[in-house]
Amino acid sequence: MKPAPFDYERPSSIGEACRLLDEAGGGATVIAGGQTLVPLLNLRMSQPFILVDINGIDALKGISRVEGGTRVGPATSQAEALSDETLGRHLPALVTALGHVGHYQTRNRGTIGGSVALGEPAAEMPAAAVALGATIEIASVRGNRSVKADEFYLGPFMTVLEPDELVTGIVYPDWPPDHVVLFREVAQRPGDFALVGMVGALAIADGKISRAGLAWFGMGPTPIKARQAEVALIGAAPGEADAQAIAELAVADTAPFGDHRASAEYRRTVGRRIFVRALREALEAKETA
- Per-residue pLDDT tens digits for 250-266: 999 999 999 999 999 99
Q: What is the pLDDT of residue 239?
A: 86
Is the pLDDT higher at 23 or at 43? 23
How buried is residue 56: exposed, middle or buried, by Cβ count under 10 Å (0-12/13-18/19+)?
middle
pLDDT band at residue 159 under the 50/70/90 scheme? very high
Taking 70 as the threshold, does the pLDDT of residue 117 lie above it?
Answer: yes
For the chain, the structural domain boundaries read 7-56, 58-173, 180-288
Structural element, H or E, at residue 137: strand 135-140
Task: Decide which of 3.90.1300.10, 3.60.21.10, 3.30.43.10, 3.20.20.70 is the CATH code for 7-56.
Answer: 3.30.43.10
Cβ(31)–Cβ(52) below 8 Å: yes
Instruction: Report pLDDT digits (tens) over 215-242.
Output: 999 999 999 999 999 999 999 999 889 9
Distance CA 134, CA 197 (A): 19
* pLDDT score of 284 more than 90: no
Please determine, for residue 1, whether its predicted confidence score (pLDDT) is greater than 70: no
Q: CB neighbours of 190 closer than 8 A, spacing ≥ 6?
A: 100, 103
Would you give the distance in Å from CA 269 to the centre of its chain? Answer: 23
More confidently predicted of 3 and 158: 158
Amino acid in position 42: N
Q: Which helix (H) or strand (E) holds 180?
A: strand 180-186
Mean pLDDT of the chain: 95
Q: Is the CATH code 2.70.150.10 the one for domain 180-288?
A: no
- The CATH number of 58-173 is 3.30.465.10
**pTM, 2 dp:** 0.96
pLDDT tens-digit series, residues 124-150: 999 999 999 999 999 999 999 999 999
